[in-house]
Structure 1
């Protein structure tokens, strides 16, 4: 399969290269369509790793390549364009814009990528139907439950068909039933869209939704559970 993401000997310290180490010699290779979870204690650098992969921060050493393009060699503007076109994000806090409707929130990545309005409408309708919220297209985030808001966030993350999906504790603010529904939705949508996904979580049950589970600690990133049967 096509190698989509390659991380080589990634290092990051708070306060610069001579500061407190957060990530040390992290290696990870993912193929197109892989869905993996990364677990670890608080402070081990899970969110830092996601920020580096997203190009929101730069490492002190090491390389990150997405579809053969090296993020660590790009300028900020180029990283922003790559992030906008090739990555989707799901966060614990949803990050929906309260003054926009559900449909408008989902359409944001398409608008930023200058997709024509007619194509935006069709794509948004398709994604909202896929996450079971077609009837709430004109609702505002304040009118939704936590589980519904996270389903909107999943639709927004996938609407522009990204190559890479990054999910940072996406079920952390949800009750058990809503979390299970969102994880099943996330897994199903990742499969249908064929993107590569990285789920960062403290939850063993959330991690179990992924194909492989890695643990991040002071010594690096280690495979904890091998690929599951699809």
Structure 2
């Protein structure tokens, strides 16, 4: 459905879904926070009026109290609290430091992450770490749970997850509850398939680890990638 055929109060939300949050004007963002307008004005029109009263400055708007906001026709206590809450969230966000994503530079770095998930399990599981171009972790995911002897990973799910998080590299791992670090024929085959699929998508398989309770085996360290 085209945006122009929608009621104006619905357009900011539809525009958000169709074009993304960056496409919205300040008044459209505020309209979404309020949810609706008044009997005489749409949410967007009411938002424009409110923003105009503070010279379209979010910092100035954040100084208005709930009582100040309810002076606008169509803004009750609930809408005023919603506006004040959204601005307070923004204030707290801006005051916080962005947490730095851990960087993985070698197999041991990956092992330190994977061992917390895999080392003590009695059945096999398959996990993956997804990385950006700087080899910083952007997502960690369990992909499969198997039996005592094997856990088969769906390569399509692995790379869908990688694409969903815009990863450029991936490190996979599974555990051997038996304690045997030697890779099986199936381990070698699936590693090769993941590598080939990654080459097609320009998402590099950086390593495959086999995890036991006290140690690990790295395909990369052993020259098997």
Give the TM-score category using the shorter length.
Answer: under 0.3
Indicate the structure (1 or 2) with the bigger Cα radius of gyration.
2
* TM-score, structure 1 normalization: 0.23
Which structure shows the bigger proportion of residues in strand conformation? 1
Which structure shows the bigger proportion of residues in helix conformation? 2
